[in-house]
Amino acid sequence: MKTIRALLLIVFLLSTLSACSNTKAVPEEVQTDLIAAAEPITDRLLAALAANDYDSFVQDMEPKMKSAMTPEQFDALRQLLDSKAGAYQSRQLNTVQQSGDFYIILYTATFEKSPAVTIRVVLTNTTPYQLTGLWFDSPELRQK
């Protein structure tokens, strides 16, 4: 049940993006800044999940997302990733897009049991960039 709640929270946080589903390319100079901001944020998220460190996990979240991501939901997400995907190993940047007032950074990550996990990191459109959405997806994560 906790897993379902965590997934629902992530879907809810991304529902804002569905309303603005028109994505567009981001100018190269903005992409450079976004990638420079997104990389350490993504590193902290993945390290916090591996270390079971809730405070580090929510460190870069904008206030609404931080209040919505409870320690229980963090635990459910961590347990889901551990059981279905295994340990995080590496990632590769795929694309940087803009959708409405958000920037979307897509990665393909390799986990121990899931070789192609899509990680969607959604950032606010103003600096300092803050995390406003996070999504993990792979066939393994969708299995019941």
Q: What angle do CA 48, 126, 130 make, to 5 degrees?
A: 15
**Structural contact between residues 131 and 62, judged by C-beta atoms closer than 8 angstroms:** yes
Please tell me the distance from the alpha carbon of residue 134 to that of residue 125, in angstroms, as a whole number.
Answer: 15
Please tell me the distance from the alpha carbon of residue 24 to that of residue 116, in angstroms, as a whole number.
Answer: 24
Q: Which residues does 13 contact at the CB level (< 8 Å), separation at least 6?
A: 65, 68, 122, 132, 133, 134
Q: What is the pLDDT of residues 84-118, one digit of tens each?
A: 999 999 999 999 999 999 999 999 999 999 999 99
Confidence at residue 13, expressed as pLDDT on a 0 to 100 scale: 46
Please tell me the distance from the alpha carbon of residue 11 to that of residue 118, in angstroms, as a whole number.
Answer: 14
Confidence at residue 1, expressed as pLDDT on a 0 to 100 scale: 54
This prediction's pTM: 0.84
Number of domains in the chain: 1
Task: Name the residue range of residue 14's domain.
Answer: 2-142
Question: In which residue ranges of the chain is pLDDT below 70?
Answer: 1-21
Q: Domain containing 52 — which CATH number?
A: 3.10.450.590
Q: What angle do CA 79, 81, 85 make, to 5 degrees?
A: 135
